[in-house]
């Protein structure tokens, strides 16, 4: 009789444990739909965040190009990083010790003045490039209508014989490249690129560097 009761008691105990586990909702097994759903939601949230980030950067890039195209240089100040300011680099190679950097306050102070600055040296001749801030933006930064160029994000299309250290100087930041292809007449060597480097601050992307690039000697 005892031998008969033992299996029956075991079955009742097993059923009781399963009911308690089901009631508590704490037991999850491999392949649990709840886990799969959670992972899927997290993946979708990450993808959405990346899309929104890319959209914000593209929007900022396009707006800045429009500002430069319209020569609305005062408005450009609204995109300059409030704490770090903006660096202007004449060619692909960023020179932290030589490139001209303007704080937001200095940019506002000088943009509508005739004060001239040395922005660097011209390739080939080595002549100093001295100009007002407004002239530099007009004649150098937006030397081509980059709004009509091809847009790239975090990648380089324009490559020449000059060094490019953007990713070494700004390893964790996003950048855009607005590329204008060279002509057949000059064997494609008259290409130009305008790169804008962005950093997020208080939930918005601000400009920290403006880098021009072209074929150099």
The domain spans of the chain are 40-214
The answer to whether 175 and 198 have CB atoms below 8 angstroms apart is yes
Could you tell me if 173 and 201 are in contact, meaning their C-beta atoms sit under 8 angstroms apart? Answer: no
pTM: 0.77
Least confident of 23-27, 57-61, 135-139, 187-191: 23-27
SS3 (DSSP) at 30: coil
Q: What is the pLDDT of residues 108-134, one digit of tens each?
A: 999 999 999 999 999 989 999 999 999
Least confident of 5-9, 123-127, 161-165: 5-9
Q: Which of 197, 191, 201, 193 is nearest to 210 (CA)?
A: 197
Instruction: For domain 40-214, give the CATH number.
Output: 3.10.450
Angle at 36 between CA 31 and CA 38, to 5 degrees: 145
How many residues are recorded in the chain?
217
Q: What would the mean pLDDT of 169-184 be, rounded to a whole number?
A: 97
Sheet holding 192-201, edge to edge: 100-102, 86-89, 204-214, 192-201, 174-180, 150-153
Q: What percent of the chain has pLDDT over 70?
A: 75
- Helix extents (H) in 95-179: 104-110, 133-135, 166-169
- The rounded distance, in Å, linking the Cα atoms of 66 and 198 is 17
Exposed/middle/buried for 172, CB within 10 Å: 0-12, 13-18, 19+? exposed
Q: What is the pLDDT of residue 33?
A: 57
> What is the DSSP code (8-state) at residue 39?
H
pLDDT for 158: 84
């Amino acid at each position: 009789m005892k031998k008969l009761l033992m299996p029956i008691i075991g079955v009742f105990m097993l059923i009781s444990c399963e009911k308690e586990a089901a009631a508590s909702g704490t037991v999850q097994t491999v392949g649990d739909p709840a886990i799969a759903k959670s992972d899927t939601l997290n993946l979708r949230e990450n993808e959405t965040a990346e899309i929104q980030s890319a959209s914000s950067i593209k929007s900022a890039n396009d707006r800045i190009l429009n500002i430069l195209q319209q020569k609305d240089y005062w408005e450009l100040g609204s995109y300059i990083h409030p704490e770090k300011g903006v660096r202007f680099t004449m060619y692909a190679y960023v020179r932290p010790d030589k490139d001209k950097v303007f704080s937001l306050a200095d940019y506002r102070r000088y943009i509508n003045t005739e004060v001239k600055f040395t922005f660097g040296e011209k390739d080939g001749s080595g002549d100093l490039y001295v100009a007002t801030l407004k002239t530099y933006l007009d004649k150098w930064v937006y030397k081509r209508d980059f709004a009509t160029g091809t847009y790239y994000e975090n990648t380089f299309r324009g490559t020449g014989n000059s060094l490019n250290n953007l990713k070494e100087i700004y390893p964790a930041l996003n950048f855009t490249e607005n590329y204008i292809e060279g002509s057949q007449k000059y064997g494609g060597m008259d290409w130009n690129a305008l790169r804008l480097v962005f950093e997020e601050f208080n939930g918005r992307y601000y400009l920290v560097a403006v880098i021009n690039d072209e074929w150099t000697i």
